[in-house]
């Protein structure tokens, strides 16, 4: 009898969960604007040919890249394809809304506008307590790593040669390319002088132009540069791994909907149609279920110290009558 009651309870819960997803408004989804644009996933095919030198009686071996005709989706297209796939697998309805800017995105997070969002570790820490976003998934076995790079034919070959040097970074709060490498160096008591530029692309350009001796970035940012810039630079150090971006849900989202979404995300890497979409959003090994505690290490980062903010000085209150 007890088993029968439990079975009926599970059936009712399932029906309730289905009715919620079937009748609810679309879930509004946002993506952090700092997420990079998709990159080509098909490796260029190289073709080696032997040709006769015109002025000398010898042969010359020449290697050229053969076009692969890959159509790379835009960021909007890549993420829309992800949510279309998840709609099909969960029965939920998603409305993907691209933010106008980083400020616009974070203001909407602060107001609880998004039902679901894919956000940076710093944003997760900032909006976890209020409005209360909870982690539901993250990239599997793919932590965030920053890096330091220099000119390939320049005077620097190892990180130790940059102690006390001025290094360019893309902004104070760019977590992968700026916060992660600077925090890692800070933990190593490795002192540098950071200089902040407008974008990661600008950092690569100015190091390539010898305006800075070194710069901070990410592998994805490096891969997005022109072949000429890539060939002129070299990576000399990568940071330890940090917990990656968080896929989060607002507290108002029902448990049943979250559970469906988690199952579909975890299974994406096991289905050909899902697996094909993941590289364009920089996910190599699929997703895994996440817990809020996965980002505890990010809480330990003191941004005021890291960004060189002046420390508050405690001024003693004057004693009356003296």
Residues 130 and 27 in one domain: yes
For the chain, the domain total comes to: 2
Residues 111 and 31 in one domain: yes
Residues 104 and 81 in one domain: yes
Is 81 a domain residue? yes
Specify whether the CB–CB gap between 116 and 249 falls below 8 A: yes
> Left (φ > 0), alpha (ψ -120 to 50) or beta: where does 98 sit?
beta
- Token pair, residue 144, equals 């965030």
- Token pair, residue 264, equals 């579909």
Residues 170 and 202 in one domain: yes
Residues 84 and 25 in one domain: yes
Tell me the C-alpha distance between 11 and 150, whole Å. 61
DSSP state, residue 102: H
Tell me the C-alpha distance between 285 and 35, whole Å. 17
Length of the chain equals 322
Is 273 a domain residue? yes
Residues 158 and 95 in one domain: no
Is 252 a domain residue? yes
pLDDT tens figures, 56-111: 445 445 444 555 567 899 999 999 999 999 999 999 999 999 999 999 999 999 99
Residues 28 and 136 in one domain: yes
Residues 196 and 232 in one domain: yes
pLDDT computed for residue 104 by the predictor: 97
pLDDT computed for residue 308 by the predictor: 81
Specify whether the CB–CB gap between 297 and 121 falls below 8 A: no
pLDDT tens figures, 120-174: 999 999 999 999 999 999 999 999 999 999 999 999 999 999 999 999 999 999 9
Domain residues for the domain of 111 are: 20-37+75-142+243-304
Is 64 a domain residue? no
With the C-alpha atoms ordered 151, 154, 157, 162, is the resulting torsion angle positive or negative?
negative
């Amino acid at each position: 009898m007890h088993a029968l009651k439990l079975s009926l309870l599970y059936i009712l819960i399932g029906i309730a969960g289905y009715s919620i997803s079937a009748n609810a408004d679309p879930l509004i989804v946002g993506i952090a604007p700092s997420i990079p644009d998709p990159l080509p996933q098909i490796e260029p095919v190289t073709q080696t040919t032997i040709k006769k030198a015109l002025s000398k009686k010898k042969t010359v071996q020449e290697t050229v890249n053969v076009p692969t005709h890959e159509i790379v989706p835009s960021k909007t297209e890549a993420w829309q394809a992800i949510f279309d796939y998840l709609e099909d697998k969960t029965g939920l309805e998603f409305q993907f809304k691209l933010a106008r800017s980083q400020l616009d995105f974070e203001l909407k997070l602060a107001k609880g506008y998004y039902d679901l969002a894919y956000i940076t570790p710093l944003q997760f820490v900032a909006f976890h307590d209020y409005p209360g976003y909870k982690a539901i998934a993250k990239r599997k076995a793919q932590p965030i790593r920053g890096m330091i790079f220099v000119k390939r034919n320049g005077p620097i070959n190892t990180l130790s040669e940059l102690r006390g040097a001025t290094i360019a970074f893309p902004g104070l709060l760019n977590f992968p390319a700026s916060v992660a490498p600077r925090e890692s160096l800070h933990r190593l008591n490795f002192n540098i002088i950071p200089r902040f530029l407008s974008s990661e692309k600008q950092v690569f350009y100015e190091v390539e132009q010898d305006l800075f001796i070194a710069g901070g970035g990410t592998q994805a940012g490096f891969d997005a540069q022109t072949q000429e810039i890539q060939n002129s630079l070299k990576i000399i150090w990568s940071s330890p791994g940090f917990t990656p971006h968080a896929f989060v849900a607002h507290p108002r989202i029902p448990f049943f909907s979250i559970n469906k979404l988690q199952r579909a995300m975890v299974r994406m890497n096991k289905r050909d149609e899902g697996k094909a979409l993941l590289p364009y959003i920089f996910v190599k090994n699929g997703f895994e279920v996440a817990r809020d505690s996965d980002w505890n290490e990010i809480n330990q980062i003191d941004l005021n110290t890291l960004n060189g903010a002046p420390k508050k000085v405690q001024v003693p209150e004057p004693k009356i009558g003296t």
